[in-house]
Amino acid sequence: MVLADLTREALKPETNPYHMALAQFYAVADRLRLDPGTQAILAHPKRELIVHFPVRMDDGSVRVFTGYRIQHNLARGPAKGGIRYHPEVTLDEVRALAMWMTWKCAIVNIPYGGAKGGVACDPKELSLAELERLTRRFTTEISIIIGPEKDIPAPDVNTDARVMGWIMDTYSMQVGYSVPGVVTGKPLATGGTAGRAEATGRGCMLMAREATRRLGLPLAGATVAVQGFGNVGSIAAHLLAEQGCKVVAVSDSEGGVYRREGLDIPALLRHRARHRTVAAFLQGQPISNRELLELPVDILVPAALGGQITGENAHRIRAKIIVEGANGPTTPDADRILNAREVFIVPDVLANAGGVLVSYFEWVQDLQSFFWEEAEINERLERQLTRSFNDVMETARRDGVDTRTAALMVGVRRVVDAMEARGLYP
């Protein structure tokens, strides 16, 4: 099916992430009364690059990998978005993530458009040398559309500061001088910023705090379950525990652990560092990812992959608050069920926006070659994310809509305002 054939009636949002993103957009476009031409522009990515590239493996053989870099909209500024390495990366997944990045950047009011990238691979099966060669070749393939004034990648699923350092070095070697601003989330030694690694998880903690305040619930003592104990989930769990929350369950791709009295998060982090999983942590009992989602907790943080809360299991979700650390963890059918049950959702485009906010701070510092202290970065993050939360809540109150619809209304409206201000070329 080509993009032009994606009528509203043809969408399958429960099984396709891009269809889910489109369904969300069309619902908001109707509320904002956008004209058909504007809707058509925003329903389509501006630019899509698909690359098939060879990588020499350690045994001398050659494998061909498929990668993507998609820019959804550039009306508000250069494209911004992460690069993920995962076996299930698909074109439609990256399209959806790029669209959500457009709205996310607008919701937190930074001058970026949305992009996303990915390579279909399993980094767990690659040696460090193979991972570096894959990253450098992929960077070379997409270098025609990235750059500090064009498109700035960042870490995502299974990529980190080291990978960003390879991208920065590869791009810099091609242009003949160092370009720190081509990526964010890179090591401090190459122009990274303090606070970036923790930013997305810190943002989830701040949004959980604001949600409990909105509902009149104490944050200290609140019970928390975190699905996905990677960079986002582990930092969120650690910071929520520091705020006095009782983190009773966490999980990763290998399994999970539950303790009703609360888990010792520092000990769990040490266990994961040794074993690369939270499974088999002795200070708790095993729990599956499905069971974790359905625990009777105050706050649920889905911070794994998309499509975890669906129409099939939404009626069994017992959390009072859902803070979406992952992108697209809740399907439209699940949204309808949860909203009817008055579950308070901090949607992904707001809940996990701490990462792109601090990425913006890093980019600004790189461009001016002047760096801020971590305390200043965290203060700026808190101020801007809290302001964005209040913008969304005010829209929800004024228009009588749920929080996801309100967040998307804020983001889409700001993008449309930029498009109208710039006009249609030629």
Could you read off the pLDDT tens digit of each residue along the chain, which spans 426 residues? 456 556 776 787 777 999 999 999 999 999 999 999 999 999 999 999 999 999 999 999 999 999 999 999 999 999 999 999 999 999 999 999 999 999 999 999 999 999 999 999 999 999 999 999 999 999 999 999 999 999 999 999 899 999 999 999 999 999 999 999 999 999 999 999 999 999 999 999 999 999 999 999 999 999 999 999 999 999 999 999 999 999 999 999 899 999 999 999 999 999 999 998 999 898 999 999 999 999 999 999 999 988 999 999 999 999 999 999 999 999 999 999 999 999 999 999 999 999 999 999 999 999 999 999 999 999 999 999 999 999 999 999 999 999 999 999 999 999 999 999 999 999
Query: How many C-beta atoms lie closer than 10 Å to residue 141's C-beta?
Result: 18
- The residues with which 69 forms a beta bridge, in sequence order, are 49, 117
- Does the residue 420 lie in any domain? no
Question: Domain for residue 163, yes or no?
Answer: yes
The parent domain of residue 171 ranges over 3-179
The answer to whether position 123 is within a domain reads yes
Provide the domain count of the chain: 2
The pLDDT value recorded for residue 422 is: 97
Report the alpha-carbon distance of residue 418 to residue 416 in Å, rounded: 5
Domain-embedded: residue 422:
no
pLDDT at 6: 65
Residue 399 confidence (pLDDT): 97
pLDDT at residue 329, as a whole number:
95
Examine the fold and report which residue of 132, 150, 179 is the final residue of a domain before the chain moves on.
Answer: 179
pLDDT, tens digit (0-9, with 9 covering 90-100), for 221-247: 999 999 999 999 999 999 999 999 999
Task: Clarify whether residues 170 and 69 are in a common domain.
Answer: yes
> What is the predicted pLDDT for the residue at 44?
96
Q: Are 234 and 271 members of one domain?
A: yes
> Does 401 fall in a domain?
no
Q: Can you give the pLDDT at residue 305? A: 85
User: Is residue 125 located within the same domain as residue 258?
Assistant: no
Same domain membership, residue 203 and residue 146? no
pLDDT of residue 14: 73
In a domain, 341, yes or no: yes
Scan for tokens 């956008």, then name that residue.
Answer: 34
Residues 331, 256 within the same domain: yes
Do 287 and 150 fall into the same domain?
no
Domain boundary among 325, 351, 377: 351
Q: Are residues 204 and 329 in the same domain?
A: yes
CATH of the domain at 347: 3.40.50.720
Tokens of residue 119, six digits: 């390579």
Q: Tell me: do 15 and 161 sit in the same domain.
A: yes
Q: Are residues 157 and 228 in the same domain?
A: no
Which DSSP helix (H) or strand (E) runs through 136?
helix 128-142
Q: What is the CA radius of gyration of the chain?
A: 21
**DSSP string across 338-404:** HHHTT-EEE-HHHHTTHHHHHHHHHHHHHHHT----HHHHHHHHHHHHHHHHHHHHHHHHHHT--HH
Alpha carbon distance 21, 24 (integer Å): 5
pLDDT the model gives residue 8:
77
415 found inside a domain:
no
Which of the following is catalytic: 116, 186, 246, 320? 116
246 is a catalytic site residue: no
From 299, 330, 351, the end of a domain falls on 351
Asked whether residue 152 falls in the same domain as residue 271, the answer is no
Claim to verify: residue 282 and residue 323 sit in the same structural domain: yes
- Answer yes or no: do 256 and 317 share one domain: yes
Residue 90 is part of a domain; what is its CATH number?
A: 3.40.50.10860
Which amino acid, residue 304?
A
